[in-house]
Amino acid sequence: MTQTKIATEKEFLEYVKKMQHLNEAIGLMYWDLRTGAPKKGVEQRSEVIGTLSSDVFAMSTSDEMKAFINELSKPDIYDSLSHVTQKTLDEVKKDFERNAKIPPAEFKEYVILQSKAESIWEEAKNNSDFSLFQPYLEKLVEFNKRFIGYWGYEGNKYNTLLDMYEPGITVEILDDVFSKLRESIVPLLQKVTDAPQPETKFLFEHFPKEKQKEFSLHVLKEMGYDFNSGRLDETVHPFAIGLNPGDVRVTTKYMENDFRTAVFGTIHEGGHALYEQNISQELIGTPLCSGTSMGIHESQSLFWENFIGRHKGFWKNHYSMLQQCGGSQFNGVELDDYYRAINIVEPSLIRIEADEMTYPLHVIVRYEIEKGLFNDEIEVKDLPRIWNEKMNEYLGVTPDSDANGVLQDVHWSGGSFGYFPSYALGYIYAAQLKNAMIEAMPDFDQMVEQGNLLPIKQWLTENIHQYGKTKKPIEILKDVTGESLNPDYLISYFKAKYSEIYRLNS
C-alpha cells in the first residue's frame, strides 16, 4: 500500500501542478490585456482565456480529481502524506465539494447571467438607472440563495458566502466587530469634521509623470520589492498579480494633477506584491502558493500604504525627495502641513476614494445590506433607498445619484457577495499585526523614520508571507498576536492618530 500511496500522491501533485500551470498562463494573459495588448486581439484572447479557464474548472471537478480525493482522504493514507500534500488536498477538496454540488446546467446558466449582468450594470451605472440593473441583481441573489441551499450553512446563510473569501469569519464575529468599529468611528468622525481642515490645494498641482515614476520606483525598492522578480507598469486600474513567487508584477496609475494616486497606490500594490514574492518556494505548483485570504492580502497592502506610507516618520525621511521630484508645488509647505494634508479625513460618497477612517463605514453599509438580502430581510428593489439611508446615518452624506450610490461597485454584478467585508477586515488585521510587530520590534517608529524597512518586510515574511495558504487567516492571527479578531487596535490607532492631526482635545 505504501507504494500505491506514494504513486498516487505523486500523480496527484502532478495533476494539481498542471492546474497551476494553466492558471499561470491565464494570469499572464490577464496582465497583458491590462498593460497594452492590442485592442483588436482582445476578443480572441478572451476566448483563449475562456478555454484555459474551462480546462482548470473541468480538472477541479473531474472523475480523476474525485478518485484522488477519495483515495488520499482515507485516514491512514492522509496521515502519511506530506504536510504540503495534506493542505493541498484540503484546498482542492473544498473546491470540489463546492463545485460538484451545483447542477452543471444551473452553473452554466449562472455564468451566462454573470457576464450579461456585468454589461447591464455598466449601462445602469452610466445612466444612473437602478431599474435597469434590478432584475439582474434579483436573479443573481436568487442563484446565490439556491447555491447556499446546495452547499448548506451553519448559523447564518450569509456565512457560506463569507467563507469563500475569508474562511473562519462569520456573521456572529462581524456583527460584533463591525458594531464596535462603527460605534467608535462615527463619533470620532463627527469631531474631525467639526475641526479645522488642513490645507490641501498643493496636492492638486502639476507633478510630472516621469518624476512620479522615479519616486514610486524608489519607494518600491526601499520596501524590499525585488525587481528581479517583478516589474512596474502603468494601467487604468492599478493591481498586483503573482504569477509565481519569481514573477509578481505591480501596476500603478499616474495622475499629474494628484500625485497621491501613484504614490500611495504603488505602495499599496507593493504591499500585495511583497506577500506574493515571499511565499515559500516549496509551495510553487500547488494551490497553496498565494495569499491565504482576501482580508489577509488586504492587510498587507494597507499595512504598507497606511502604517508606513502615511506615517510621519516615513515622510521625515522621504519628503525632501518628493519635493525634488514634484518641484514648486511644495514651496512653503512644511513637513507637518504635508503630513496633515495626506491624512485628511472627509466623508464622501465613493468607497474607493475614501480615506482610511471613513473606509470601514463604506464596507459596513455593504455588509449590512448583503446580510439582509440573504436573510430575506431586505429586498433588491429597496436597495437604493436603504443604501442612501445608511450612508446618511453612518457617514452623514447622501448620494446625489444611484451611480454615486448603490451602483458604484462592480462586485455584485459579478455575483460576488460576501467579498466586501474582507476590505474592512484588512484594516483590522493590519492594526493587530502591527501591534504584534511593535512588541517584537519596539523601535518600529524609529526604523520607519530611518528608512530601515527591510526588517519590517522580513518580519511580515516570517510571520505571514511564507505560509501562503497553508495557514488560515484566523490561524495566522492567533499565531502572531495570540488573539482572535480584535478591532480595538484599529480603533486606538484612529483615535491617537487623528486626535493629533486634528488637534482634538479628547
Contact residue for a second copy among 103, 135, 155, 246 (CB under 8 A): 246
Q: Which of the following is catalytic: 9, 269, 276, 370?
A: 269
CB of 447 to a second copy, least distance (A): 27
Separation CA 277–CA 412 (nearest Å):
30
331 touches a second copy (CB under 8 A): no
Query: According to the annotation, is 298 in a ligand binding site?
Result: yes
Return the number of the residue (244 or 358) whose C-beta is nearest a second copy: 244
**In sequence order, which residues have a C-beta less than 8 Å from that of residue 381 and are 6 or more positions away?**
134, 138
**In sequence order, which residues have a C-beta less than 8 Å from that of residue 246 and are 6 or more positions away?**
229
Contact region for a second copy (CB under 8 A) — 3-11, 100-108, 237-245, 473-481?
237-245
Q: Which helix (H) or strand (E) holds 119?
A: helix 104-127
Separation CA 219–CA 86 (nearest Å):
39
Return the number of the residue (231 or 385) whose C-beta is nearest a second copy: 231
Which residue shows C-alpha cell 499585526? 433
150 touches a second copy (CB under 8 A): no
Question: Is 285 in contact with 229 (CB distance < 8 Å)?
Answer: no
Contact residue for a second copy among 47, 106, 172, 389 (CB under 8 A): 47
CB of 132 to a second copy, least distance (A): 31
Return the number of the residue (252 or 293) whose C-beta is nearest a second copy: 252
Site string for a second copy, 282-321 (x = CB under 8 A): --x-------------------------------------
Size of site (CB under 8 A) for a second copy: 37
How many Cα atoms occupy the beta-carbon half-sphere of 110 within 13 Å? 18
Q: Which of residues 51-70 bind a second copy (CB under 8 A)?
A: 51-52
41 touches a second copy (CB under 8 A): yes
Instruction: Spell out a b/e string for 43-79, using b for 16 or more CB atoms within 10 Å of the CB, else e.
Output: eeeeeeeeebeeebeebbbeeebeebeebbeeeebee
Contact region for a second copy (CB under 8 A) — 152-160, 211-219, 226-234, 376-384?
226-234
Selection from 495, 197, 491, 192 nearest residue 340 by Cα: 197
Contact residue for a second copy among 229, 252, 286, 470 (CB under 8 A): 229
236 touches a second copy (CB under 8 A): no
Contact region for a second copy (CB under 8 A) — 240-248, 374-382, 460-468, 495-503?
240-248
CB of 231 to a second copy, least distance (A): 6
Contact residue for a second copy among 11, 36, 62, 375 (CB under 8 A): 36
| CA 434 to each of CA 266, 356, 358: distance values in angstroms, whole numbers, following the listed order | 20, 16, 20
243 touches a second copy (CB under 8 A): yes
What angle, 0 to 180 degrees and rounded to 10, lies between the N-to-C axes of helices 294-302 and 473-481?
50
CB of 266 to a second copy, least distance (A): 17
Residue 118, phi then psi, degrees to nearest 5: -65, -40
Query: According to the annotation, is 272 in a ligand binding site?
Result: yes
Return the number of the residue (216 or 299) whose C-beta is nearest a second copy: 216
Return the number of the residue (246 or 327) whose C-beta is nearest a second copy: 246
CB of 40 to a second copy, least distance (A): 4
Separation CA 84–CA 396 (nearest Å):
49
Contact region for a second copy (CB under 8 A) — 38-46, 140-148, 353-361, 415-423?
38-46
38 touches a second copy (CB under 8 A): yes
C-alpha cell at 196: 479645522
Q: In what order do the strands lie in the sheet with 232-234?
A: 232-234, 247-252, 240-244
CB of 85 to a second copy, least distance (A): 19
Contact residue for a second copy among 4, 7, 11, 42 (CB under 8 A): 42
Question: Is 464 in contact with 304 (CB distance < 8 Å)?
Answer: no
Residue 465's Cβ-count burial label (10 Å; 0-12, 13-18, 19+) is buried
Contact region for a second copy (CB under 8 A) — 48-56, 100-108, 159-167, 470-478?
48-56
Q: How is 414-426 classified by DSSP, letter by letter?
A: GT--S-THHHHHH
Contact region for a second copy (CB under 8 A) — 43-51, 76-84, 377-385, 405-413?
43-51
191 touches a second copy (CB under 8 A): no
Return the number of the residue (18 or 411) whose C-beta is nearest a second copy: 18
217 touches a second copy (CB under 8 A): no
Known catalytic residue at 269: yes
Which residue shows C-alpha cell 473606509? 359
Q: What is the DSSP letter of 307?
A: I
Return the number of the residue (39 or 237) whose C-beta is nearest a second copy: 39
3-state secondary structure 167-234: CCCCHHHHHHHHHHHHHHHHHHHHHHHHCCCCCCHHHHCCCCHHHHHHHHHHHHHHHCCCHHHCCEEE
Contact residue for a second copy among 15, 29, 138, 316 (CB under 8 A): 29
Residue 331's Cβ-count burial label (10 Å; 0-12, 13-18, 19+) is exposed
Q: What is the DSSP letter of 401?
A: S
278 touches a second copy (CB under 8 A): no
Separation CA 421–CA 174 (nearest Å):
8
C-alpha cell at 474: 484566523
Residues of this chain that interact with a second copy (CB under 8 A) are 17-18, 21-22, 24-25, 28-29, 32, 36-45, 47-48, 51-52, 226-231, 243-249, 284
Q: Would you name the residues annotated as active-site residues?
A: 269
Annotated binding residues for Zn(2+) = 268, 272, 298
Annotated binding residues = 268, 272, 298
